[in-house]
Amino acid sequence: MSETLEHQGPATLSADLLVTGGRTARPGGPTAVRVPGDKSVSHRALLAALLPGALDAAGRLTVRNANLGGAVRALLPALHALGLRVDADGDALLVRPDAPVPQPVHPHPALTGGPGGVPYLWTAGSSAAARLLVGVLAGTGTAAVVDGDEVLRHRPMDWLVEPLIEMGARIDYLGDPGRLPVLVHGPVHRPGTVRLTVGSAQARSAVLLAAAAARLPMTIRHPVSSRDHTERMLAAFGAGITESPGELRYDGGACTVPAELDVPADPSLAAYPVAAHLLWGDGGELSVPGVCLNPTRLGFFDVLRRAGADIGYRDRTVTGGGEPVGTVVARGGLDAVTAVRVERPAELHALIDEVPLLAVVAARLPGTSWIGCAEELRFKETDRLETTARMARAFGARIEVESDGLRITGGAPLRAASVPGFEDHRVAMAAATLATSLPGRTTVLGGACHRTSFPDFADVQRAIGARMAEDI
């Protein structure tokens, strides 16, 4: 079972996604659709198994409703190399100790004659897997090489490696400075204060996980509030964490990882059916239950609500992991919705993965929309400011890229087209979602890369009336 879960396969180009505009049937009444578990919470829940004292008396951690997209699967070979196997058990993942399974070292000049004898942890293209893993290893003092594919090797690691080094960790760049692969070979041990230079939640989480694993009292200064799943999870485990604007304090106290963790549905994935429903605008109510309603994740819905969209939240409750959960409800369409403006860094971070989707929705709104404070988008799987603009222009949208954001002038006639997906799941899913509302047939080149975060994206969109299939 774990073999199937861990299978990464070679890095190949994804199949195209074919979308025919229009809805198969106008919704007579309310429609409900479910989306997979949250990617960020899934990464953190699985990594909790590496924290000191994790795994119950029977030696198990059960993670329910985990996201099983490529980005979360990317963590599994690394866990196995560290002596933890992960098996599917119904809709849950079971994490248990097992003999460490060595990972093949990828041929890379930086590793020739490099460190021998330490586990080689391959995280494919997942920045969250790589960055959070580096943090946990630096906290537990586990020596290992962390590496990833060519795309990931171009993404910044210094955002977290430099503060971890300040905290006393020994981490060496084995390739280009500031990038993967890195060798982690000494634990953090200096309590005190570190200052982060970016709003990246992955960077802050890596530092916090290192401190918590090492029980090192730390103050972490950071420029922007972004998703706080690590803080909530560790606090729910009993760690002493206090937050004030721009600052996070961990008191060095112990935390206890429970035997079971629940992952709420992913708000970033709920955004796609909600957007399709609003783009059709043909009536009815769409609800997505069990969604993580953590305010640091709701920017897409909140910005559209502020612009006049009928989106609401109901059935609110809180999970054991400290995450608010509820149903997202969308009614009507975009008729009364005005241009959107994102002008505060925290708001941008609350929709950081939805920028391509918000941009294509904005192309259907009157007036000029602005999505700003988005310079970190240049360091995603692609330079997402550029790839979003190129994808949207292929539909006929008027969109300008500025150094820190996107300016979208609504009202340009949009048409079905052959559009690039850039092997970037968020860009491809945004394109396919816009295409559901345009007459004619759109091909999203490489669109099946949605599997990175949303394996059943096309099924979910079809369930609410989209006509969407992979080109086989």
Position 202 contacts ligand S3P (CB under 6 A): yes
Instruction: Verify whether residue 302 is a known catalytic residue.
Output: no
Residues 170 and 176: their CA atoms lie apart, in Å, by: 17
Residues 159 and 197: their CA atoms lie apart, in Å, by: 7
Position 142 contacts ligand S3P (CB under 6 A): no
Query: Which of 352, 374, 385, 432 forms a contact with ligand S3P (CB under 6 A)?
Result: 352
Nearer to ligand S3P, 47 or 84 (CB): 47
Residue type, 319: T
Query: Which of 16, 147, 353, 381 forms a contact with ligand S3P (CB under 6 A)?
Result: 353
Residues with Cβ within 8 Å of 3's Cβ and at least 6 positions away in sequence, in order, are none
Tokens representing residue 160 in the block:
């977290």
Tokens representing residue 182 in the block:
């890195």
- Stretch in the footprint of ligand S3P (CB under 6 A) among 58-66, 80-88, 194-202, 365-373: 194-202
Position 201 contacts ligand S3P (CB under 6 A): yes
Residues 67 and 74: their CA atoms lie apart, in Å, by: 12
Residues 39 and 70: their CA atoms lie apart, in Å, by: 10
Contact 251, 278 (CB under 8 A): no
Give the active site residue among 353, 383, 424, 471: 353
Residues with Cβ within 8 Å of 353's Cβ and at least 6 positions away in sequence, in order, are 268, 426
Strand intervals (E) in 176-246: 182-186, 192-195, 218-221, 241-244
Binding mask 149-168 for ligand S3P (x = CB under 6 A): --------------------
In whole angstroms, how close is the CB of 159 to ligand S3P at the nearest point?
Answer: 8
Position 200 contacts ligand S3P (CB under 6 A): yes
CB count, 10 Å around CB of 448? 23
Nearer to ligand S3P, 280 or 457 (CB): 457
Position 40 contacts ligand S3P (CB under 6 A): yes
Nearer to ligand S3P, 201 or 334 (CB): 201
In whole angstroms, how close is the CB of 250 to ligand S3P at the nearest point?
Answer: 17
- Stretch in the footprint of ligand S3P (CB under 6 A) among 118-126, 195-203, 233-241, 287-295: 195-203
Tokens representing residue 215 in the block:
């029980």
Tokens representing residue 419 in the block:
């559009």
Position 43 contacts ligand S3P (CB under 6 A): yes
Residues with Cβ within 8 Å of 60's Cβ and at least 6 positions away in sequence, in order, are 94, 95, 96, 259
**Got the DSSP string for 16-68?**
PEEEE-S-SS--SSEEE---PBPHHHHHHHHHGGGSTT-S-TTS-EEEET---
CB count, 10 Å around CB of 10? 4
Position 387 contacts ligand S3P (CB under 6 A): no
In whole angstroms, how close is the CB of 209 to ligand S3P at the nearest point?
Answer: 11
Position 464 contacts ligand S3P (CB under 6 A): no
Residues 273 and 240: their CA atoms lie apart, in Å, by: 38
- Stretch in the footprint of ligand S3P (CB under 6 A) among 137-145, 197-205, 210-218, 236-244: 197-205
Position 227 contacts ligand S3P (CB under 6 A): yes
Nearer to ligand S3P, 132 or 184 (CB): 132
Position 63 contacts ligand S3P (CB under 6 A): no
In whole angstroms, how close is the CB of 440 to ligand S3P at the nearest point?
Answer: 32
Q: In a 3-state reduction of DSSP, which class is residue 76?
A: helix
Query: Which of 66, 76, 128, 445 forms a contact with ligand S3P (CB under 6 A)?
Result: 128
Nearer to ligand S3P, 127 or 442 (CB): 127
Residues with Cβ within 8 Å of 425's Cβ and at least 6 positions away in sequence, in order, are 381, 449, 450, 451, 452, 453, 454
- Stretch in the footprint of ligand S3P (CB under 6 A) among 198-206, 275-283, 291-299, 434-442: 198-206
- Stretch in the footprint of ligand S3P (CB under 6 A) among 22-30, 77-85, 101-109, 201-209: 201-209
Tell me the number of residues near ligand S3P by CB under 6 A.
11
Tokens representing residue 181 in the block:
């692969």
In whole angstroms, how close is the CB of 472 to ligand S3P at the nearest point?
Answer: 28
Query: Which of 6, 262, 376, 423 forms a contact with ligand S3P (CB under 6 A)?
Result: 376
Contact residues toward ligand S3P (CB under 6 A) are 40, 43, 128, 200-202, 205, 227, 352-353, 376
**Catalytic residue numbers?**
353
